[in-house]
Amino acid sequence: MTGGGELRSGLSGRLSGPVRSVWAKHDRDTEGWLPLWCHMEDSGSVAGLLWDRWVSSNVRALVAEALPGGEEDARLLAVWLAVVHDIGKATPAFACQVDQLADRMRREGLEMPTRRQFGADRKLAPHGLAGQVLLGEWLEERHGWTRKQSGQFGIVPGGHHGVPPEHGQIKELDDRPHLLRTPGPSRPVWQRVQDELLDACADEYGVRRRLGAWRAVKLPQPVQVLLTALVIMADWIASNPELFPYFPQEIHRTGQERMAAAWRGLSLPPPWRPVEPAGDVEEVFASRFDLPPGAKVRPVQEAAVRLARSMPAPGLMVIEAPMGEGKTEAALAVAEIFAARSGAGGVLLALPTMATGNAMFPRLLDWLERLPAEEGARLSVLLAHSKAALNDDYAGLMRESRQQITAVDTDAETPEWRPRHEKRSAPAELVAHEWLRGRKKAMLSSFVAGTVDQLLFAGLKSRHLALRHLAVAGKVVVIDEAHAYDTYMSVYLDRVLSWLGAYRVPVVVLSATLPAARRRQLAEAYAGAVTVAGSGAGAAEFEAVAQTDAYPLLTAVAAGRHPVMERPAASARGGAVHVEPLDEDLDVLADRLAAELDRGGCVLVVRNTVRRVLDTARVLRERFGDEHVTVAHSCFLDIDRAANDADLLVRFGPPGKTGDRRPVKHIVVASQVAEQSLDVDFDLLVTDLCPVDLLLQRMGRLHRHQRGPGQGHRPEGLRTANCLVTGVDWGSEVPTPVRGSVAVYGAYALLRSAAVLLPHLEGARRPVQLPRDISALVQEAYGDAPTGPEGWAEAMTKALEQQKRHRTDQAERAQVFRLGDVQKPGRPLIGWIAAGAGDADDTRAGRAQVRDSKESLEVVVVQRRLDGSLATVPWLDKGRGGLELPLDRVPSPKAARAAAGCGLRLPIQFSYGDVMDRAITELEKLYVPAWQAKDSPWLAGQLILALDADCQTRLAGFSLHYSQRDGLEVSSD
C-alpha cells in the first residue's frame, strides 16, 4: 500500500503514482499517518459543512458579494481554499521531517535531503508560506493570473497558521527554490505531484470553470480575513485524530462516511437564526424581559426599537440615557432586530470589567431562555474572561453541556452528544460547547458576555487574529459603559469599529455620560473615512453629532450613510440632587453623617483609592460601630468580592427585591466598584471629587428607586437627594484634590469637574437636575472652551499641558501593536500583523496590551497552618473553607476550585519594576510541582500567596493583612 484509501473515491480517485505517497499528518506514538490528499479532502468536507451549517448568514453574504457568482461562488471558493491550504506540505522542506515517511516518498521518485542536510534554511519554508507560493505559481503559470491577482487568494493558505507572511519572507523563499522542489532529476516529479494535486482539487471541487471569472475579482480585505479564519477552523477540526483517525485504521471508510462520523462526533451548535420580533414595543419587552408588575416601556427603549426597525440597514446605534433607564434591555431588543435583519448569528456583550461581565451573564441567560427557537435548537454560550470557570452560572452550564468529542459509529442515527443534565426548559438549549473553548476558539461561540478586552483584541496585531475577526463578524456587538475607556483603549476601540463597519457588523453602544466629541469619533470610526470625507454635507452631519446637547439621545449610522439622531423624551424618573462641598477632614465627615443618620438611613461613601476607603471605614467604625459600616473595593479575593456584590444587591437593591432586608441605618464605604452595573440605591451620597461623568454615575446610586410617594419611605431628613463632594481642599484659591485622586484621574479632569460643578456648589447651590443636566455638565467638562474662575486659569493651563502629554503618549504607545486600517479591495493581507504582539490572551500580560495599565500581579491566596501544611482560607461557605491542599499530590477537585476562587490582584505598589521582580521571586519559592498537572488546571501556573494563621504575611518589603471584612491591607515596613 503506497498511500492507503484504495477503496475511497472523490479526490483519491483522481490521483495515482507518487502523489499518493505524500504525507500530511503523523503520530509518533502510534506511527499512524495521513496522506496529504486525505487531509485535503477532510478539510474541504469540513469547510463545506461549516459553511452550510455553522457560518452565519451575514458572513456568507459578505463573501458572496465580492464574487461574480454570488453565494455559489463563495461556497466553492471557501471549500477549495480549505482543500488546497496544505499544498505546501508537498515540498521537500516539509516532507523530510519524518524519516520513514520521507523514505516512502523517495521510493516513489520524490528525492529530498534529510532534515539535517537542509539545515537552518528549511525554516524559511513553513508549509503555509510554501503553499501560498505554490498556489500562486499554479494560478500564474497555468491560468494566466498576475501575481497581484493570485496574492489575494494565496494569502489564505499562507496565513492558515495564524500569521500571514510578510514580503521579506516571500522574497527569501523565492531565492531558495530548492526548498520547494529538489533540484536535479526529481524536480519534475515534485512539480508534477504539486500540479497534479492542484489540478485534481480544481476539477473535483468544480473550481476550474470559475478561475477565469475569479481572475478579475478584487477580494476585499475583510473577505480575505474571513476565508482565512474559516480555513483555520476547517484545518483544526480535520486535524483532530479523534474525529479523523489516521491511516491505516480508516482505509475501509469512504470520504462521506468519514466526514459524517466526524461531524456527528463534533456536534457543533449551529448559529442563532433569529426572526424579527413582531408586535409593538410593549409586547416585545413583555415577552423578552422579566418586567416588574405594572412596568411600562420607557421612551428611550421605545425609540431604540423604532429606530432599529426604520434604519435602511443595521449599523451602529449609540444609546445615551440616564443611569437605570433600561439601556441593557433596549440594547438586547435592538440586537435581536439587527440580527434578524442582518443575518448575524449571535451577540457579543462587551463590558468594562470581570465583575460587570459576571453580573451581565445571568441576564444574558435569562434573555436567551425567552427567545423563540426551533424545536431542538442549541445555542453556544460563553462567559469570556480569565476567571469564567469560577462563575457559578457558567460552571453550571459547562457541567450540563459536558461533551466527549470523539468520532462516532458511522451507523449511528443520532449524535453522540447528550447534555449531562436536562434542567433548562428554554426554547433553545444553551450549551458551553467543548470544542469552542480555549483562548483562540472560545469567542466563536454564538453568545458571549465578557470584558471589553475580548473585543479590543480584534484590533491588536496578534496570532490567529483572523479567528477573532470571524467571531465578531458573525455577531451583533453591544459595548456597554462606553465612557469608561481611556485614550489608550479608545485607540484600539476605534480601529475595531472601523473593521466592524467594513464587515457590516451591527453595533450598539451604551453610555449614560458620553462626551460629544467621543460620540462623533465612534460614529466616524464605524462609518469609515469614505463616508466622512466624501462630501461637505457628510462632514457637516458628523459635526452635528458632536454639537447636539440633546439628552437622552440616539445616534444611528449605517455603513456608507449619514448619521441620524433621535431625541426621545426622558422618563419621569430622576429629580433634583443637591450638591454640597464637604471638608476633607474625616472627623467632619463623621460628624455630618451622625447628624444625617439621626433617624436612620443608608449612605454610600465613594473614595478614589483603596487606601482612602480603609482609612475612612476605620474612623466611621469608631463612631458608628462595626455592624453599621461595610467596605467594598477591588482588593478582595474574587470569591469575597462576588459575595460582597451579592450582599449589596440584597440589602440595597430595588424595593421589590430587597424586601425587609434593607438596614435601618448603614454606611457603605466603597471604591469605584460601586460606580457601575450595581443596581443599588442609597439615601445619601458622599463622594470624592472625580471626573464629572463618573460623578454623575455615582449620583445614579442616589435615590435610584422610588421608595414610597415622594420618597416618603426614606428617613424624614433624607427624602431630598443630597450629594456631598469631598476629597479636595475647597478652601484654597484653586481647589486642590487629594494626591491619590490626581494619580488616578489627572489634575485637569478633576479641575474641569470642579469648575462645572461650581454653580451647584456655591451661593444658592442650584440643584443638579437629573437627567436634564447630565449632558450639559459632561459636554462642558469635556469641551474645549475655558471654564471656571479666572483665578484658576494658570492651574488649568498647566494641568491641560500635562494631560495632552499623557494622552499623546497613550496614543503613540497604543499604535505600536494596533492593527492597520482596512485597505482597498484586492490588496493581499501580506504583512497584516507584522511586528505584532504574539498571542493575545486574557492573562494579566494580555490585558495590559489593550489597557494602559501596568502589568498587575495576581495571586491565589491560601492559608498556612501551624504545622506548615496548606489549606483553603477558613471562612469559605458551602464546605469549601479549610480544605487540605496537599503538597505531594494534586488537591481534590473541590479544594482546588475553592482555592482558585481565592484569586487576588495585588495593588499598584506591586506593579513597579524592582518591587514586582522581588515579589515574583519570593512568591515562586512556594512552587508545588504536584499542582502543575495538566488534568488539574485550577492551580497550575498560579502564584501562591500563603497567609499565616492570623491572615498576615510579608512580601517584597511590605506587610500584608487580609480580612473577610476589609479585604487586603498593605503597609510598608
pLDDT tens for each residue of 447-463? 999 889 899 999 999 88
890 grid coordinates: 494534586
In a domain, 151, yes or no: yes
Asked if residue 449 and residue 412 are part of one domain, the reply reads yes
Asked if residue 193 and residue 52 are part of one domain, the reply reads yes
Domain of residue 589, CATH code: 3.40.50.300
Inter-residue contact 699 to 723 (CB < 8 Å): yes
DSSP code, position 702: B
HSE of 434 in the Cβ direction (CA atoms, 13 Å)? 16
Asked if residue 184 and residue 96 are part of one domain, the reply reads yes
> What sign results for the dihedral spanned by CA atoms 895, 896, 902, 906?
positive
Domain span at residue 666 reads: 575-770
Q: Please identify, among 770, 796, 820, the residue that sits at the C-terminal boundary of a domain.
A: 770
Inter-residue contact 35 to 22 (CB < 8 Å): yes
Asked if residue 579 and residue 550 are part of one domain, the reply reads no
In a domain, 557, yes or no: yes
In a domain, 843, yes or no: no
CA distances from 17 to 85, 97, 197, 234, 788 (A): 22, 21, 12, 27, 85
- Residue that is written with C-alpha cell 499512524 in the block: 32
CA separation for the pair 16, 6 (Å, rounded) = 10
Asked if residue 302 and residue 217 are part of one domain, the reply reads no
Strands 23-26 and 33-35: antiparallel
In a domain, 832, yes or no: no
CA separation for the pair 386, 443 (Å, rounded) = 13
Q: Please identify, among 770, 787, 803, the residue that sits at the C-terminal boundary of a domain.
A: 770
CA separation for the pair 12, 59 (Å, rounded) = 31
- Residue that is written with C-alpha cell 494534586 in the block: 890
CA separation for the pair 228, 371 (Å, rounded) = 32
CA separation for the pair 916, 897 (Å, rounded) = 26
Asked if residue 549 and residue 637 are part of one domain, the reply reads no
505 grid coordinates: 457588523
Asked if residue 132 and residue 57 are part of one domain, the reply reads yes
Asked if residue 442 and residue 406 are part of one domain, the reply reads yes
Q: What is the model's pLDDT at position 247?
A: 77
Tell me how many degrees the CA angle 517-519-524 measures, rounded to the nearest 5. 95
Asked if residue 867 and residue 898 are part of one domain, the reply reads yes
Task: Centre a 10 Å sphere on the Cβ of residue 851 and count the other Cβ atoms it contains.
Answer: 18
HSE of 222 in the Cβ direction (CA atoms, 13 Å)? 28
In a domain, 807, yes or no: no
Tell me how many degrees the CA angle 927-933-936 measures, rounded to the nearest 5. 110
Task: Centre a 10 Å sphere on the Cβ of residue 273 and count the other Cβ atoms it contains.
Answer: 15
Phi-psi region of 108 (alpha: psi -120 to 50; beta: other; left: phi over 0): alpha
**β-pair partners for 316:** 507, 557
CA separation for the pair 878, 532 (Å, rounded) = 57
Please report which helix (H) or strand (E) contains residue 646, including its range.
helix 638-652
CA 742 to chain centroid, in Å, comes to 30
CA separation for the pair 64, 302 (Å, rounded) = 35
Asked if residue 913 and residue 892 are part of one domain, the reply reads yes
179 grid coordinates: 526548498
Q: What residues of the chain score a pLDDT lower than 50?
A: 1-8, 403-426, 529-537, 842, 847
Spatial CA neighbour of 400 closest among 382, 424, 365: 424
CA separation for the pair 824, 826 (Å, rounded) = 6
Asked if residue 541 and residue 457 are part of one domain, the reply reads yes
Q: What is the model's pLDDT at position 325?
A: 86
- Residue that is written with C-alpha cell 485614550 in the block: 487
pLDDT tens digits, residue range 730-768? 989 999 999 999 999 999 999 999 999 999 997 667 999
Q: What is the model's pLDDT at position 553?
A: 95
In a domain, 537, yes or no: yes
In a domain, 2, yes or no: no
690 grid coordinates: 472625580
> What sign results for the dihedral spanned by CA atoms 367, 372, 373, 376?
positive
Asked if residue 670 and residue 601 are part of one domain, the reply reads yes
Phi, psi for 541 (deg, rounded to 5): -70, -35
Q: What is the model's pLDDT at position 423?
A: 35
506 grid coordinates: 451591527
Spatial CA neighbour of 156 closest among 230, 213, 218: 230
Q: Please identify, among 770, 800, 833, the residue that sits at the C-terminal boundary of a domain.
A: 770
Helix (H, G, I), strand (E, B) or coil at 967: strand
Report how many domains make up the chain: 4
pTM of the model: 0.88
For residues 822-835, one letter each, b for 16 or more C-beta atoms within 10 angstroms of the residue's C-beta and e for the rest, the string is: beeebbbbbbbbee
Domain of residue 239, CATH code: 1.10.3210.30
Omega cis (within 30) before 552: yes
Inter-residue contact 95 to 35 (CB < 8 Å): no
Helix (H, G, I), strand (E, B) or coil at 277: coil
In a domain, 18, yes or no: no
Tell me how many degrees the CA angle 476-482-484 measures, rounded to the nearest 5. 140
Please report which helix (H) or strand (E) contains residue 602, including its range.
strand 601-606
741 grid coordinates: 485622586
34 grid coordinates: 495521513
Inter-residue contact 834 to 462 (CB < 8 Å): no
